[in-house]
Amino acid sequence: MIELLVVIAIIGILAALLLPALSRAKASAKRATCINNLRQISLGLHQYAADNGDALPAAANVTGDSIETNHAVIFYKRLMKTYVGLHGASSPRDTLFACPADTFYYDFPSLTYHAQSLYDQSDSDYSSYGFSGGNGFTNYAPPAFLNETSFPGVFGRKVSGIKDTARTLLMTEIPAFFPWSWHEPQRLPAGKYGVNDAKNMVSFVDGHVSYVKIYWDANYSLTCCCYDAPSGYGYKRSAD
């Protein structure tokens, strides 16, 4: 009996040591999938631009309010999905657009928590990833305190006219627009759109993909896609 208890104790210790390592490996595998997804989607966007006068996606009457297929973050998919081999109506079978860590979301603007994948929702056009198209908002202008004539983004911008392609965001996981994180989840504070330094997978105009902290300014009652981050964050949303 004593020997059996010793064996059980050893197994318990080994399991306790292995579980965190397995958890880290699983999380790393999910991020690797997102890296591959974002690289392919970004390449598709560049191919789209090459066929459209060097201009990245743009469309009429895109919105910046509740999540819908014509939102400035989401509309892009219908324009460029043929460049990544997808044809016909969007569906949950469009796995290139699915982040494997996408298991919950906060509805916008209600901030209601949903314990299900955003990718599985038709309003997101079955995508976990969003286009950095904030400058395409047509339903309202930036508040005066931001000192901006338009929200930052690459909506309709010519790739050759973007000054710092290695720092300018092209695509991100959708939580990076608020921000919160699928990879390191935490509950949002009451009434707040995000938390500072939530980590997300993002792609840049030059094509590289990174796992970065997203800046959020609690002084603004705005989502973080409405303004650029401080220089220390290594990314920017503005194409200028």
How far is 147 from 113, CA to CA, in rounded Å? Answer: 32
Burial state string for 195-226 with b = 16 or more CB within 10 A and e = fewer than 16: beebbbbbbbbeeebeebbbbbeeeeebbbbb
Q: In the predicted model, what is the mean pLDDT of residues 230-237?
A: 93
CA-atom Rg of the chain in angstroms: 20
How far is 151 from 134, CA to CA, in rounded Å? Answer: 5
Predicted TM-score (pTM) of this structure = 0.88
Laid out side by side, the sheet with 169-173 consists of 129-131, 169-173, 198-204, 209-214
Does residue 189 have a pLDDT over 80?
yes
pLDDT band at 81 (very low <50, low <70, confident <90, very high): very high
pLDDT of residue 215: 97
Q: For residues 218 and 196, is the Cβ–Cβ distance under 8 A? A: yes
How far is 189 from 192, CA to CA, in rounded Å? Answer: 5
Q: For residues 224 and 214, is the Cβ–Cβ distance under 8 A? A: yes
The size of the chain, in residues, is 240
User: Which pLDDT tens digit goes with each residue over 68-80?
Assistant: 899 999 999 999 9
pLDDT band at 231 (very low <50, low <70, confident <90, very high): confident
Residue 9 has φ and ψ, to the nearest 5°, of -65, -40
Q: In the predicted model, what is the mean pLDDT of residues 194-209?
A: 97
Pick the more confident residue, 2 or 67.
Answer: 67
Tokens of 134: 């904030």
Does residue 220 have a pLDDT over 80?
yes
